[in-house]
C-alpha cells in the first residue's frame, strides 16, 4: 500500500502543480503555458519569431506566453502594437538586464522609460541630425564608405567572396564616423576585433537571443556562460570607448564640436545632471551597437534576395541607370525618382525584418491592451515578423514581391504596416540614418556591379535569428557593369 500511497501523492502533487501553473485571471490574455517550471521555452528553436507567430495565430494578437516563471506578452497584429505602443505610455519601459551588453541602466537602448530616457533621446536625435541625418550632410560620408566598399568589391575580380563582412565594415564605419569623428574600425585593431566578434555566426547565438527576451534565464547553466561572455564583451567595448573619449578631451575645441562625443562633452561642461561620463560611454556603445548589425544585415538581405531574383536586380539597375546616367552619384534627393528601388528596400524590410521581435518592452504599471489586463512587470515583445507575414495585411506574405509596394502608375506606396523600426515612444532612433544608408549603399553597389551566387553553393534564405535576423554568410560573384 505504501507504493500506492506514493503514486497517489505524486499524482496529486503533479495535478496541483499543473492546475496552479495553468491558472490565470479572467482578464488575462490567452496563450500557451507549457510545462511547469520551464513554460513554453522548449517550443523555441532556431527561429523564435516563427514559434511566436504560431502562438499569435492560435491564441490571438494579444497573447501571453509563459517562459520559465514569467509571462511574456506578444503583440501579434498591427492594431495590437498600435494600441499598446502608440496609444499607451505604460508599456514604454524596458526590462532590466535584458541584454547583458547593455546592462548598467545607462545609455538609451535599455534604459528605463522616463524623463532621463527622453532627455537622452532628444539630445541624441538632435546631434545625429546635426551630423547629418536631417540636413543630408551625412550623404558624403555614407558615399565615401560605399565607394570604398565598391573598390574592395572590385578587387575580388571574378572570384567568389563573402560579402557580409565587407558590408559590415562599410556600415560600421559610417556610425563610427558620426560618433567618434573618424573611422576607428580601420584605425584601431581592437575595434576591428569587436567587429569580427559581432559578425561571427555561432551556435550559441540562438540561446543568447532567447536570453534577450527572457533575461531571468541567465541563472541557468548554459545561459549563465553566455551572459558572462556578454558582460566581458561590454567591458572590452567600454574600455575602447573610454580611450576615444579621453583622446577627444585632449584635442577638442568647445567652439568647434567635431562629432557626437565633442557635443556631449560640451553638454557636460554646462553641468547638466544627466550628461555624465558613464552616460557618454554608454551612449557611444548603444549608438555603435544599434547602428551596426541592423543596417549591415538588412543590406546583406537585399543582396541575397537580389541574387535569388535576378530579374528584380535587373529592373532596379535599369531604374538607377535611367535616373543617374552612366556615372552620376546616388543622392537622397533622387529617391523620389526611384520608386522601384524604394519598393525593393521596403519589401526586404517586410520579408526579413531585422529585429523580428523588436527590442523587449516592459509594463511600468498594470494596464490594459485590447480589453486584456496586463500586469505591472510584464515583458512585451512586438511580433514584427508576425505582422509582416499577416495574411490579413499581405497577399501571399511569404512571396518576395516588391511590386506590392507600387501603385498602378508605378508610384511607391510607403506602408505604415511595414514596421521594422517598431512604432511609438521607443521606436528606432536611427531610422532616418538607416534609411539613408540602405538607399545610398544599395544604389551605389548595384549601379556598379551585378551580383550572383557562387554556382553550386547551398544558399539559405531563412538566416539565423539572434536578436537580429541575419543571413548566414554567403559568397557572391560581383561582375563589374
Ligand atoms: C535597418 C536598420 C535598423 C533597424 C531594423 C532597427 C530596428 C530597431 C528596433 C526594432 C528598435 C526597438 C524599438 C522599440 O523598442 O520599440 C530600435 C531601437 C533603437 N535603434 Fe534601431 N534599427 C536600425 C538601425 C539603427 C541605427 C542605424 C541606429 C543608430 C543611430 C539605431 C539606433 C537605435 C536606438 C538608439 C534605439 C533605442 C531607442 C529607444 O530605446 O528609445 N538603429 N531599432
Identify the residues whose C-beta falls under 6 Å from ligand 1: 108-109, 121, 128, 175, 286-287, 290-291, 294-295, 298, 354-355, 358-359, 361, 420-422, 424, 426-430, 433-434
Ligand 1 atom nearest 358 alpha carbon:
10
Identify which of 458, 449, 380, 467 has the alpha carbon closest to the alpha carbon of residue 158: 449
Mutate to test the pocket of ligand 1, among 114, 120, 294 (most ligand atoms within 8 A of CB): 294
Residue whose Cα lies nearest atom 6 of ligand 1: it is: 421
Beta bridge partners of 367: 374
Distance of CA 51 to the CA centre of its chain: 19
CA of residue 108 to ligand 1 center, whole Å:
10
Amino acid 213: pLDDT? 66
What's the CA gap between 362 and 211, in Å, rounded? 15
CA of residue 205 to ligand 1 center, whole Å:
20
**pLDDT tens-place string over residues 147-193:** 999 999 999 999 999 998 899 989 999 989 888 988 888 888 888 88
CB 295 within 8 A of CB 256: no
What's the CA gap between 136 and 328, in Å, rounded? 17
Residue 477 sits at φ, ψ, to 5 deg, of: -115, 125
CA of residue 427 to ligand 1 center, whole Å:
7
Mutate to test the pocket of ligand 1, among 290, 388, 434 (most ligand atoms within 8 A of CB): 290
Mutate to test the pocket of ligand 1, among 430, 442, 467, 468 (most ligand atoms within 8 A of CB): 430
pTM: 0.91
Mean pLDDT of 228-243: 87
Whether pLDDT at 232 is above 80: yes
Fold assignment, 30-480? Cytochrome p450 (1.10.630)
CB 466 within 8 A of CB 209: yes
The residue behind cell 544627466 is 274
CA of residue 359 to ligand 1 center, whole Å:
8
Residue whose Cα lies nearest atom 31 of ligand 1: it is: 430
Buried b (16+ CB within 10 A) or exposed e, 202-214: eeebbbbbbbbbb
Adjacency order of strands within the sheet including 449-453: 161-162, 475-480, 449-453
Residue whose Cα lies nearest atom 20 of ligand 1: it is: 428
Whether pLDDT at 122 is above 50: yes
Ligand 1 atom nearest 171 alpha carbon:
27
- Which three cell numbers mark 158? 571574378
Q: Is the ipTM of this complex over 0.95?
A: yes
Beta-strand pair 70-75/379-382: parallel
Identify which of 405, 381, 432 has the alpha carbon closest to the alpha carbon of residue 142: 432
> What's the CA angle centered on 470, arms 67 and 118, to 5 degrees?
65
Ligand 1 atom nearest 360 alpha carbon:
15
Distance of CA 342 to the CA centre of its chain: 20
**pLDDT tens-place string over residues 18-67:** 666 666 776 889 988 776 666 676 677 778 899 999 999 999 999 999 88
Supply the DSSP string of 158-172, one letter for each residue. Answer: TS-EEHHHHHHHHHH
> Of 222-236, 429-443, 455-469, where does the model show the most confidence?
429-443
What's the CA gap between 382 and 360, in Å, rounded? 8
What's the CA gap between 147 and 443, in Å, rounded? 11
Please check if 176 is assigned to a binding site.
no
CA of residue 384 to ligand 1 center, whole Å:
13
SS3 (DSSP) at 324: helix
CA of residue 426 to ligand 1 center, whole Å:
8
Residue whose Cα lies nearest atom 41 of ligand 1: it is: 426
Amino acid 129: pLDDT? 77
CA of residue 428 to ligand 1 center, whole Å:
3
User: What are the boundaries of each domain within the chain?
Assistant: 30-480
Confidence of residue 274 (pLDDT cuts 50, 70, 90): low
Supply the DSSP string of 257-307, one letter for each residue. Answer: --SHHHHHHHHHHTT-TT--HHHHHHHHHHHHHHHHHHHHHHHHHHHHHHH
CA distance readout (Å), 200 to 174, 195, 205, 284: 20, 9, 9, 22
Whether pLDDT at 136 is above 60: no
Mutate to test the pocket of ligand 1, among 428, 434, 466 (most ligand atoms within 8 A of CB): 428
Confidence of residue 134 (pLDDT cuts 50, 70, 90): very low
CA of residue 34 to ligand 1 center, whole Å:
31
What's the CA gap between 110 and 300, in Å, rounded? 26
What's the CA gap between 145 and 436, in Å, rounded? 13
What's the CA gap between 244 and 190, in Å, rounded? 12
- Which three cell numbers mark 12? 496529486
Q: What percent of the chain has pLDDT over 70?
A: 91
Looking at 153-157, 290-294, 401-405, 474-478, which range is the least confident one? 290-294
Ligand 1 atom nearest 384 alpha carbon:
10
Helices of type H across 325-459:
339-351, 384-388, 431-448
CA of residue 341 to ligand 1 center, whole Å:
22
Residue whose Cα lies nearest atom 40 of ligand 1: it is: 109
CA of residue 358 to ligand 1 center, whole Å:
9
The residue behind cell 551597437 is 289
CB 383 within 8 A of CB 72: no
Q: Kindly report the average pLDDT of the chain as a whole number.
A: 88
What's the CA gap between 381 and 75, in Å, rounded? 6
Amino acid at each position: 500500500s505504501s507504493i500506492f500511497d506514493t503514486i497517489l501523492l505524486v499524482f496529486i502533487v503533479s495535478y496541483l502543480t499543473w492546475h496552479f501553473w495553468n491558472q490565470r485571471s479572467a482578464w488575462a490574455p490567452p496563450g500557451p503555458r507549457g510545462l511547469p517550471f520551464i513554460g513554453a521555452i522548449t517550443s523555441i528553436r532556431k527561429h523564435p519569431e516563427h514559434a511566436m507567430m504560431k502562438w499569435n495565430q492560435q491564441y490571438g494578437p494579444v497573447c501571453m506566453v509563459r517562459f520559465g516563471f514569467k509571462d511574456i506578452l506578444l503583440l501579434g497584429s498591427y492594431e495590437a502594437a498600435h494600441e499598446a505602443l502608440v496609444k499607451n505610455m505604460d508599456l514604454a519601459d524596458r526590462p532590466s538586464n535584458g541584454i547583458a551588453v547593455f546592462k548598467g541602466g545607462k545609455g538609451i537602448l535599455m534604459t528605463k522609460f522616463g524623463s532621463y530616457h527622453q532627455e537622452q533621446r532628444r539630445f541624441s536625435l538632435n546631434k545625429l541630425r546635426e551630423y547629418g541625418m536631417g540636413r543630408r550632410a551625412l550623404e558624403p560620408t555614407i558615399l565615401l564608405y560605399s565607394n570604398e566598399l565598391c573598390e574592395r568589391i572590385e578587387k575580388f575580380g571574378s572570384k567568389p567572396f563573402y560579402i557580409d563582412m565587407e558590408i559590415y565594415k562599410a556600415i560600421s564605419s559610417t556610425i563610427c564616423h558620426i560618433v567618434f569623428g573618424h573611422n576607428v574600425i580601420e584605425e584601431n585593431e581592437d575595434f576591428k576585433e569587436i567587429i569580427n566578434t559581432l559578425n561571427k555566426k555561432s551556435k550559441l547565438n540562438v540561446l543568447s537571443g532567447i536570453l534577450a527576451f527572457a533575461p531571468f534565464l541567465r541563472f541557468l547553466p548554459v545561459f549563465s556562460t553566455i551572459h558572462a561572455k556578454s558582460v566581458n564583451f561590454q567591458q572590452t567595448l567600454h574600455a575602447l570607448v573610454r580611450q576615444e573619449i579621453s583622446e577627444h578631451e585632449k584635442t577638442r575645441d568647445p567652439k568647434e564640436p567635431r562629432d557626437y562625443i565633442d557635443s556631449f562633452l560640451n553638454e557636460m561642461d554646462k553641468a547638466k545632471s544627466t550628461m555624465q561620463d558613464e552616460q557618454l560611454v554608454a551612449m557611444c556603445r548603444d549608438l555603435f551597437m544599434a547602428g551596426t548589425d541592423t543596417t549591415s544585415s538588412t543590406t546583406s538581405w537585399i543582396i541575397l534576395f537580389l541574387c535569388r531574383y535576378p530579374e528584380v536586380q535587373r529592373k532596379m539597375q535599369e531604374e538607377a541607370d535611367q535616373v543617374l546616367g552612366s556615372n552620376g552619384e546616388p543622392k537622397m534627393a533622387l529617391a523620389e525618382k526611384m520608386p522601384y528601388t524604394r519598393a525593393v528596400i521596403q519589401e526586404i524590410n517586410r520579408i526579413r525584418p531585422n529585429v523580428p521581435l523588436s527590442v523587449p518592452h516592459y509594463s511600468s504599471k498594470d494596464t490594459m491592451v485590447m480589453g486584456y489586463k496586463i500586469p505591472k512587470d510584464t515583458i512585451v515583445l512586438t511580433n514584427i515578423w508576425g505582422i509582416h507575414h499577416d495574411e490579413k495585411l499581405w497577399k501571399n506574405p511569404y512571396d518576395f514581391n516588391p511590386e506590392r509596394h507600387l501603385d498602378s502608375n508605378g508610384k511607391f506606396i510607403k506602408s505604415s504596416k511595414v514596421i521594422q523600426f517598431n512604432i511609438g515612444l521607443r521606436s528606432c532612433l536611427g531610422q532616418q540614418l538607416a534609411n539613408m544608408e540602405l538607399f545610398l549603399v544599395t544604389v551605389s553597389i548595384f549601379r556598379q556591379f551585378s551580383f550572383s551566387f557562387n554556382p553550386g553553393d547551398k544558399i539559405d534564405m531563412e538566416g539565423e535569428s539572434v536578436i537580429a535576423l541575419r543571413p548566414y554568410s554567403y559568397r557572391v560573384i560581383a561582375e563589374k557593369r
